[in-house]
């Protein structure tokens, strides 16, 4: 084969590969129908794909006990699931992808549309979901933030009870698995290359991982002690148990307020 023919053959192969990659990335954006609504932020499509909505998080329907998942819905989990079902179950939807295509569980990550209506955003607007910022998938973070602000101000959905029942750090341990607003004083901070931890008492911590730290004020990461120590804060999120303590992981600066 001559050098010219070899070059042409190489270009043809590259062109075919490029078309394949383009098709692979865009194929999920074609219209499909929702076969099953799993919960407030997850659905199964007619092609068998499981889709996790980008940018939001809803209360859990099931809790893990050992190796099994037990149906134990958290407050507003059933309402969120029912609202999602009314919007998409059995209906044709369109998917829009962002930078990261799948999560660690293999689920497709997408903005889901029914017509011109983005379901992710509708869940936030009605107070059935809170924002869940997870870089690099942050294309519509401003829209989600504005929608959540309005939902909180109007006391919609899960915000109704949360705003009425702010708890202390001492009560966090009794609210594991629930989405709550906690008011506490930051006693100390701990910063590594991977995480910033705000210690509020011996059993409750606020955690911000590296991939989310860039969206927080620079002063908060340059000198966390100067920025947070001895400050009273309000944080919201799902309270989790980790190594004998309770914690809330922050995914966005909107989750924390200095009082």
Q: Active-site residues: which are they?
A: 52, 60, 107
CA dihedral 197, 202, 203, 208 (to 10 degrees): 0
What the block records as the tokens of 7 is 């070059």
| Cross-strand partners of 92 | 33
Q: What is the DSSP letter of 74?
A: P
Other beta carbons within 10 Å of 110: 26
CA 181 to chain centre: 17
Q: Give Cα separations from 232 to 55, 115, 198, 200, 256 (angstroms).
A: 28, 44, 11, 9, 10
Residue 212: HSE in the Cβ half-sphere, 13 Å Cα cutoff: 19
Q: Report the run of H or E that residue 144 belongs to, with start and end.
A: helix 141-153
Other beta carbons within 10 Å of 75: 15
């Amino acid at each position: 084969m001559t050098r010219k023919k070899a070059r042409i053959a190489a270009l043809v192969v590259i062109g075919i590969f490029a078309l394949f990659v383009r098709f692979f990335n865009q194929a999920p954006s074609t219209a499909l129908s929702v076969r099953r609504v799993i919960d407030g932020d997850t659905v199964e499509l007619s092609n068998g794909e499981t889709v996790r909505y980008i940018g939001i998080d809803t209360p859990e329907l099931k809790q893990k006990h050992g190796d099994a998942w037990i149906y134990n819905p958290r407050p507003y989990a059933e309402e969120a699931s029912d609202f999602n079902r009314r919007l998409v179950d059995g209906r044709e939807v369109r998917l829009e992808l962002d930078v990261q295509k799948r999560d660690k569980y293999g689920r497709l990550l997408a903005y889901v549309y029914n017509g011109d209506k983005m379901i992710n955003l509708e869940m936030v607007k009605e107070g059935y979901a809170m924002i869940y910022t997870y870089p690099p998938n942050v294309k519509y973070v401003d829209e989600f933030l504005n929608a959540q602000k309005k939902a909180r101000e109007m006391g919609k959905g899960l915000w109704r009870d949360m705003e009425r029942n702010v708890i202390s750090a001492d009560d966090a341990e009794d609210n594991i698995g629930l989405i709550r607003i906690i008011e506490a004083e930051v006693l100390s901070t701990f910063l590594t290359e991977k995480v910033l931890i705000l210690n509020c008492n011996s059993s409750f911590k606020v955690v911000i991982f590296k991939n989310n730290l860039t969206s927080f004020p620079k002063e908060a990461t340059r000198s966390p002690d100067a920025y947070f120590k001895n400050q009273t804060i309000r944080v919201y999120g799902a309270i989790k148990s980790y190594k004998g303590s309770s914690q809330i992981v922050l995914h966005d600066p909107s989750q924390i307020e200095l009082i």
